[in-house]
Structures are given as structure tokens and as C-alpha cells.
Amino acid sequence: MKKQFLEAMNTRYACKEFDIEKKISDEDFNFILETGRLSPSSFGFEPWQFLVIKDQQKKLDITEFSWGGRDRATGASHFVVALTRKGDMRHDSEYLNNFMRDVQKLPENVIEMKTGFFKGFQENDFKLLENEKTLTDWASKQAYIALGNMLTAGAIVGADSCPIEGFDKEKTEKVLVEKFDIDMGKFDLAYMAAFGYAKNPAKHEKTRRKLEDVVKFY
């Protein structure tokens, strides 16, 4: 298991061109999505929402204002757009109160205690409520945990992938409103990611700093 995981980490790379004729099976892609769903997040609040785009025209729509993204999306088997919640991530939101009750199955006294801890965390520890951007950037950090897991999961099942941040965020969010019916008053666009199979598979030697250059033990 450890060997398989490290092999996937070593062989995974940002694929630039996908084979439009090859599709990831439903079983394998559900596995990829499941690793995203099960990813850890601060306080366990899962601020993410994933849009999975398979329709070719929709891929073109979402990457209209992306430099490089359109090339990836055109051949990709599945194209993922990650959104994060905005105001819903405030400690006093109705959404989080219902989330703790309905999803986390917490009793009322624990919900009250956890809300108090989260309030202190947001107001004092990380100063997340100074402006909307601070809160949404924090939520995006959580979504990137899920991205890392999904990229590795793809490599484990032999699929290729490419994370994408190269896009005009404001214009792309307008596309999400007009062509995907997403309420961007509630969501923020975090990133995109393409999954599929490389058109021209090639070995890519992984270049990373040595472990001793990255880690310090105390």
C-alpha cells in the first residue's frame, strides 16, 4: 500500500494534453470524488462544492476566460470546478448550525460549545471576519486539501490530471452565473482541475528538494 501510494505521488504530473477518446470509468472517477468528499477540513465544515463537467460545450463555456485551461478541458474526460462557500462559513450562519445538527449529528449543547470555539477562532485566532476575502481565502485553503487528495487518487487508478488556476476569476464567475445557474453570492471560485488520460504518455522525472532540505526535526 505504501509503495503504491508513493509510486502514484512520484508519477503524477500536470498533464498538458489529454486524449479526447479515452474516458475515466464511472467507478474510478467516483473513487476520485470520494477522496475529495472524505478530505479533512477545519472544524470538519467541508466548505467545498464540486461541479463535474463532462459535456463538451460546457467545458468550453467554463474555460472561455482561462489561459491554458481550455486546452486541458477539451480533451479531459472530466473537468472539475471547485467552489467554496462564503457567508455560510461564518460562525453564526444558519447553514453551519444546520450542518452541525444534520450532518455532524451533534447534540444542541455541543453545537453551542463548538460555535463558541469557532467564533473565537474566526474573530481572534485567524482574524477571518475582517473582510469577506479573508473568510473566502480561508475556505479555499480547505478546498485545496481535497484537490491534493483527488489528484493523488487519480494517479492511483492510472489517470492523469492537471490543476488549473490560470483564469480570469471575475469573468469566469460571471459565466458560472449565466451558464451554470450558480449563485455566486453564496460561492467563490477556488480552482479547476482536469482529469483524463494523457494524449502522449511520457515518463516525467519528479524533481523535488531533498527531504532534509524541507524538514526540520526538533
| Superfamily designation of domain 2-87+129-214 | NADH Oxidase (3.40.109.10)
Find where cell 445538527 sits.
Answer: 101
Helix then strand then coil, % of the chain, to nearest 5: 50, 15, 35
Q: How would DSSP label each residue in 20-31?
A: TT----HHHHHH
pLDDT at 9 exceeding the cut of 90: yes
Contact 82, 191 (CB under 8 A): yes
Which amino acid belongs to residue 202?
A: A
Helix (H) or strand (E) holding 84: strand 78-85
Q: What are 37-76's pLDDT values in tens digits?
A: 999 999 999 999 999 999 999 999 999 999 989 999 999 9
pLDDT at 104 exceeding the cut of 80: yes
Please tell me the predicted confidence (pLDDT) of residue 213. 97
Q: What are 170-197's pLDDT values in tens digits?
A: 999 999 999 999 999 999 999 999 999 9
pLDDT at 166 exceeding the cut of 80: yes
pLDDT at 169 exceeding the cut of 80: yes
Burial class (CB in 10 A: 0-12, 13-18, 19+), 102: exposed
> CA dihedral defined by 149, 155, 160, 164, rounded to 10 degrees?
20
Find where cell 494517479 sits.
Answer: 155
Q: What are the domain boundaries of the chain?
A: 2-87+129-214, 91-128
Please tell me the predicted confidence (pLDDT) of residue 202. 76
Pairing, β 160-164 against β 187-196 = antiparallel
Compute the average pLDDT of residues 152-156.
97
